[in-house]
Structure 1
Amino acid sequence: MPDDETQIRTLITRWADAVHRGDLDGVLAGHAEDLVMYNVPPPPEGLRGLAAYRALWPPFFAWQATGARFEIDTLDITAGAYVAYAHALLRCGSPEELAAHPGLRLRLTFGLRKERDRWLIAHEHHSFPHD
Structure 2
Amino acid sequence: MKTPLAAVEDMIQAVIDRDLDAVLDAFSSEPDAYVFPEGPRWTTRGGDRIERGWRAYFEAPVGIDAFRWAEGPHLFESDTLGQVTGVVDYDVHGDGREGRLRMRMTWLLRRERDRWRVVHEHGSQPLADPYGAGDWWPDGARPLGTGA
Bigger Rg, structure 1 or 2: 2
1:88 deviation in Å? 3.1
User: Counterpart of 1:17 in 2: which secondary structure?
Assistant: helix
CA distance in 2 between counterparts of 1:56 and 1:13 reads 19
Structure with the higher fraction of residues in helix conformation = 1
Using the size of structure 2 for normalisation, the TM-score is: 0.66
CA distance in 2 between counterparts of 1:97 and 1:72 reads 14
1:48 deviation in Å? 1.1
CA distance in 2 between counterparts of 1:58 and 1:116 reads 24
Identical aligned residues as a percent = 25
> Which region of structure 1 is more displaced relative to structure 2, 51-60 or 80-89?
51-60
Q: Give CA deviations for 1:91-126 in whole Å, capped at 9, x if unaligned.
A: 22347433xxxxx51222111122343222111112
Runs of 4+ in 1 over 4 A off after TM superposition: none
Which sections of structure 1, spanning at least 5 residues, go unmatched? Answer: 99-103
Is the CA contact 2:82–2:110 (under 8 Å) kept in the aligned structure 1? yes
CA distance in 1 between counterparts of 2:21 and 2:126 reads 29
Which sections of structure 2, spanning at least 5 residues, go unmatched? Answer: 129-148
Using the size of structure 1 for normalisation, the TM-score is: 0.74
Query: Counterparts of 1:47-86 in structure 2 under 5 Å?
Result: 47-61=44-58, 62-64=61-63, 68-73=64-69, 74-86=72-84
Root-mean-square deviation (Å):
2.3
